[in-house]
Structure 1
């Protein structure tokens, strides 16, 4: 698990690493350039024409070092353009400029936007770094606009020029619009926000050799949930265990028109390793459940108020449930059973914050998408503010909130934000949220805490989608559910092999 830090904290980490490792700043810059290049060469062919646009600070020094390293890797169609809009040159920039000239790489300086080439094949943007705290000059604004309009593909070094790590608004953004940004050492919280696509369509991050012990000691409210984190949380199934060991999940069925949602939820719970799954539905529907997934058990919805809820280790409520008066009454009754719960979809749409405060007296995970979240907690104009509201509400309600997004935000009971790193647009189909609800309810029933169940469920759900996206353009929810055991096996096997 990686803690996400500010630009100023990252600069201090640079200085600390150099001071305590006898590593010079120019050597650290070389490590960063090498790390960037390793990713770049996997995306861009040596036959492409590369233009490095550089400033004269350390970000520009990175760009010059990258140009040199790419030339050494066989990228012969490469040139460097330096923006002459800065008053000083950093020492590391000057050193890399001398190294660049020694290799006879094309280097020129421009003082006006008109001096820039009319068209670019691939641009490497290395003009400004992450600590931008001032407005752009007219020269840079106009130059960036020209690059944005005339570059076939743009890759930014650490952060798109004109973008600031610690600002979370993109109104009137006039910086570089990158296709890919390769960040150093840590992901940037900024790039997990949907609004950030105006600055970069995608991002990757890579270690540049900073002191991880120093970095991990920096306090933060934001964390990146990676595979190693989830592998550390997962429990391998042990000998002499049985179905009772792995819990019993109850899934509340939906309306006649939306039975598929509850079936997908139940199927996902089953394939996430829970010992038993019961689907609460109408007796007339039992045969269809048995045909769809014979491992599922059924209970009559007419018996909702006389069931023995103590035998269920988790209850999933909401997918396709409907929201009429009868169903609202059922929901309030279920909440009073004080079982660990996952609340999704219509369950969230029938609740208010007052009802949540009144009834959530047990481990609970709320899994809203953006519209459900705003209906429950108020409208928001930007995702950063939405996250802040989720932090406040998770603390007040003492629950876990899973705010769904491409990078889903999992907020724990003390308001810490854990960003899920898996998932992709191939998963953008109906039913995918039902699968997530089933995953989380399974891990909740298996004895994981509400927070750990949410972290594991989100990661495994997204990773299954990532694995399928390597083969499919679109991943239907039912196919993803069936892939979950393979994903779990790969995570546990990889953990065993690396320990």
Structure 2
């Protein structure tokens, strides 16, 4: 799966809108439905929900999710953190919202947050992937306060405060610590990097129907390998009468006294790749262990200096 930058994903949005002839508001609704479907599948006993929105398109996603959940009979409360001028789609979804909107500010936010009990599911739609500087001021205080609670937090597209790519200049306290992240079309590179990937929690990719033809034309040095990709693209298809020699012969030299576990793991991984034959060369101390744990492999002592 090709990973795209935030800029490339925005371009994919625009290409889809122009070529599919779908309004940006309808594309936002499609994304919101995908999130709600995921919530219903993974939280079938969902009770109260608190949705925190900025005033850009990520906040528009949040308002659409709030409306759809409310129409399903969920107990929904909605909170706005005014960041700048409202985007058109945010304003449109604000007009559609059938419940009151709570406006957060420096003087009331702690009091309003105190009304949310620990069992309430929090949806984070404060900042989206277009963020290009660290969150500061009141918004940073709000994020820090949300992180201090015990609630399950689900971030929409990206945890608020996290950049989509590299985050070397970031302040960790000003990034939402998500339990789950529902990201659109592609994972963000930052989800996969050790320094800040943990902020995304467990991420799930939702297909919102962006034009795959456009995405495949984009250049990127980064790819994300999924189990489905390995199964469908890499694992060879074997018919009943094929010979094992047709699928490759791997020589694996591994192991030392007291550390045979790595050799076993490497051998089992090699067999799972679909190869036909595996030869293991290891010190004599590992012969019995390897022949017991990896019965499919041919095992030779390294002292023999001979491979079958």
TM-score normalized by the length of structure 1: 0.55
- Gap runs ≥5 in structure 2: none
User: Which structure has more helix as a fraction of its residues?
Assistant: 1
Q: Is the 8 A contact 2:54 2:83 kept in 1?
A: yes
Map 1:233-312 → 2, pairs under 5 A: 233-252=234-253, 254-266=255-267, 268-270=269-271, 273-281=274-282, 295-304=296-305, 307=306
CA distance in 1, matches of 2:59, 2:293: 59
Contact 1:170/1:198, CA 8 A, preserved across alignment = no
2-structure distance, mates of 1:287, 1:9? 53
Among candidates 87, 97, 100, match of residue 100 of structure 1: 97
Q: Give the Cα–Cα distance (whole angstroms) in 1 for the partners of residues 265 and 83 of structure 2.
A: 58
Q: Distance in 2 between matches of 1:234 and 1:157?
A: 33
> In the TM superposition, what whole-angstrom CA distance separates every residue of 1:130-158 from its partner, at most 9, and x where no partner exists?
11123434111111111111251111111
- Label 1:51 to 1:245 Cα distance change in 2 as closer, same or farther (>3 A): same
Q: For the Cα contact (< 8 Å) 1:148–1:176, is it kept in 2?
A: yes
Residue pairs, 1:322-341, within 5 angstroms: none
Shift of 1:115: 4.6
Q: Residue in 2 aligned with 1:31?
A: 30
1:51 counterpart residue number: 50
1:81 CA displacement: 1.0
Q: Does 1:109 align with 2:115?
A: no
- Larger RCO, structures 1/2 (Cα 8 Å, 6+ apart): 2
How far apart in 2 are the matches of 1:232 and 1:61?
A: 37
Counterparts of 2:179 and 2:242 in 1: how far apart (Å)? 49
The whole-number CA distance in structure 1 between the counterparts of 2:59 and 2:227 is 33
Matches within 5 A, 1:458-469: none
Match of 2:218 in 1: 218
Please tell me whether the aligned partners of residues 248 and 275 of structure 2 are also in contact (alpha carbons under 8 angstroms): yes
Kept after mapping to 1: 8 A contact 2:135/2:161: yes
User: 1:33-71: CA deviations, max 9, x gaps?
Assistant: 111111122333454211111111111111110001112
The TM-score with structure 2 as length reference comes to 0.86
**TM-fit CA distance, 1:223:** 1.3
Displacement of 1:222: 0.7
Measure how far apart 1:269 and its partner are: 4.1
Contact conserved, 1:46 with 1:74, CA < 8 A, in 2? no
Deviation string, structure 1 residues 218-241 (Cα, Å, up to 9, x no partner) = 111111223453312332123543
Distance 1:215 1:291, change over 3 A: closer
CA contact (8 A) 2:165 2:188 kept: no
Is this contact kept in 1: 2:260–2:286, CA < 8 A? Answer: no
Corresponding residue pairs, total: 301
Q: CA RMSD in A?
A: 2.7
Provide closer, same or farther for how the CA distance between residues 222 and 297 of structure 1 changes in structure 2, counting only shifts above 3 A: closer
Q: Which residue of 2 aligns with 1:10?
A: 9
Is residue 2:84 matched to residue 1:87?
yes
